[in-house]
Amino acid sequence: MDTIAAISTPLGEGAIGIVRISGEQALRIALRFFTSPRIHKEEDVIPNDLRLGVFSDGAIREKCMMVYFRAPHSYTGEDMVEFHVHGGSFLVSKVLEAVLGAGAKMASPGEFTKRAFFANKLTLDEAEGVAAMIGAESEAELRGAYSLMSGRFRERIEKLSDELTKVLSTMEAALDYPEEMADEADDARARAVSVRAEMKKLVDSFKEGKLIKGGVTVAIVGKTNVGKSSLLNSIVGYQRAIVTDIHGTTRDVVDETIVHKGVKLRFLDTAGLRETQDVVENIGIERSLSAAKGADVVLYVAESNAEPDEAEFASIRGFSKKIILVKNKVDVLGVSEKGLNVSAKTGEGVGVLLDEIVRAALGDFRSEDSLLEERHADCLRRALRSLDEALVAWEDNNEECVLVDLRESIGAISEISGKGATERVINDVFSRFCVGK
Ligand SMILES: Nc1nc2c(ncn2[C@@H]2O[C@H](COP(=O)(O)OP(=O)(O)OP(=O)(O)O)[C@@H](O)[C@H]2O)c(=O)[nH]1
Ligand SMILES: [Mg+2]
C-alpha distances out from residue 102 to 29, 60, 105, Å = 6, 15, 9
CA 430 to ligand 1 center in whole angstroms:
48
- Percent above pLDDT 70 for the chain: 100
Residues lining ion ligand 2 (Cβ < 5 A) are 228-229, 249-250
Q: Which residue ranges does the chain devote to CATH 3.30.1360.120?
A: 4-107
Res. 251 pLDDT band, cuts 50 70 90: very high
C-alpha distances out from residue 203 to 211, 364, 375, 403, Å = 14, 16, 11, 23
> Is there an atom of ligand 1 within 6 Å of 304 CB?
no
Tell me how far apart the alpha carbons of residues 420 and 411 are, in angstroms, rounded to a whole number.
7
CA 254 to ligand 2 center in whole angstroms:
9
pLDDT of residue 59: 87
Tell me how far apart the alpha carbons of residues 345 and 138 are, in angstroms, rounded to a whole number.
27
pLDDT of residue 181: 86
pLDDT of residue 436: 84
Q: Measure the CA angle with vertex 17, ends 30 and 51; round to 5°.
A: 50
> Is there an atom of ligand 1 within 6 Å of 253 CB?
no
pLDDT of residue 2: 96
- Atom 27 in ligand 1: residue holding the nearest Cα: 245
pLDDT of residue 367: 83
Three-state DSSP class for residue 209 = helix
- 295 within 8 A of 265, measured Cβ to Cβ: no
pLDDT of residue 319: 87
> Is there an atom of ligand 1 within 6 Å of 273 CB?
no
Helix 152-176 vs helix 399-414: angle between axes, to the nearest 10 degrees?
160
CA 274 to ligand 1 center in whole angstroms:
15
**What's the whole-number mean pLDDT along residues 285-293?**
96
**CATH 1.10.260.40 for domain 215-362:** no
pLDDT of residue 169: 94
CA 328 to ligand 2 center in whole angstroms:
13
Mutation probe of ligand 1 site: the residue of 220, 225, 278, 343 with most atoms within 8 A of C-beta: 225
Q: Where are the alpha helices (DSSP H) in 320-431?
A: 330-333, 350-362, 374-395, 399-414, 423-431
Mutation probe of ligand 1 site: the residue of 221, 243, 289 with most atoms within 8 A of C-beta: 243
Q: What one-letter code names the amino acid at 386?
A: S
pLDDT of residue 376: 95
Relative to the CA of 248, which ligand 1 atom is closest?
24
CA 226 to ligand 2 center in whole angstroms:
8
Q: Are strands 4-7 and 105-106 parallel, antiparallel or unpaired?
A: parallel
Q: What is the pLDDT of residues 375-423, one digit of tens each?
A: 999 999 999 999 999 999 999 989 899 999 999 999 999 999 998 888 8
Residue 278 has pLDDT above 90, yes or no: yes
> Is there an atom of ligand 1 within 6 Å of 227 CB?
yes
Instruction: Compute how many other C-beta atoms are within 10 angstroms of the C-beta atom of residue 186.
Output: 11
CA 254 to ligand 1 center in whole angstroms:
15
Q: Which residue ranges does the chain devote to CATH 3.40.50.300?
A: 215-362
pLDDT of residue 178: 83
> Is there an atom of ligand 1 within 6 Å of 218 CB?
no
Q: Which residue ranges does the chain devote to CATH 1.20.120.430?
A: 127-210+373-431
- 429 within 8 A of 375, measured Cβ to Cβ: yes
pLDDT of residue 276: 94
CA 226 to ligand 1 center in whole angstroms:
5
What is the pLDDT of the chain when averaged over all its residues?
A: 94
Relative to the CA of 243, which ligand 1 atom is closest?
16
Q: Which residues of 55-89 are buried (b: 16+ CB within 10 A; e: fewer)?
A: bebeeeebebbbbbbebeebbbbbbbbbbbbebee
Q: What one-letter code names the amino acid at 307?
A: E
- Architecture in CATH of 127-210+373-431: Up-down Bundle (1.20)
CA 292 to ligand 2 center in whole angstroms:
15
pLDDT of residue 157: 94
Q: What is the pLDDT of residues 130-168, one digit of tens each?
A: 999 999 999 999 999 999 999 999 999 999 999 999 999
Kindly report whether the peptide bond that precedes residue 72 is cis, defined as omega within 30 degrees of 0.
yes
DSSP 8-state secondary structure symbol assigned to residue 190: H
**What's the whole-number mean pLDDT along residues 352-374?**
91
Q: What is the pLDDT of residues 22-80, one digit of tens each?
A: 999 999 999 999 999 999 999 999 999 999 999 999 889 999 999 999 999 999 999 99
CA 258 to ligand 1 center in whole angstroms:
21
- 39 within 8 A of 53, measured Cβ to Cβ: yes
Tell me how far apart the alpha carbons of residues 243 and 79 are, in angstroms, rounded to a whole number.
60
**What's the whole-number mean pLDDT along residues 218-223?**
98
pLDDT of residue 356: 97
- 55 within 8 A of 34, measured Cβ to Cβ: yes
Relative to the CA of 232, which ligand 1 atom is closest?
15
Going across the sheet that includes 14-22, the strands are 34-35, 51-56, 61-69, 80-87, 14-22, 4-7, 105-106
pLDDT of residue 180: 86
Least confident segment among 49-53, 229-233, 306-310: 306-310
Give the containing element (helix H, strand E) for 19: strand 14-22
Tell me how far apart the alpha carbons of residues 24 and 80 are, in angstroms, rounded to a whole number.
8
Q: Where are the alpha helices (DSSP H) in 254-373?
A: 279-294, 310-319, 330-333, 350-362
- 198 within 8 A of 358, measured Cβ to Cβ: no
CATH no. of 4-107: 3.30.1360.120
> Is there an atom of ligand 1 within 6 Å of 228 CB?
yes
Residue 18 has pLDDT above 90, yes or no: yes
**What's the whole-number mean pLDDT along residues 275-284?**
95
Q: What is the pLDDT of residues 313-330, one digit of tens each?
A: 999 999 888 999 999 999
**What's the whole-number mean pLDDT along residues 237-249?**
97
> Is there an atom of ligand 1 within 6 Å of 154 CB?
no
Q: Are strands 323-328 and 34-35 parallel, antiparallel or unpaired?
A: unpaired
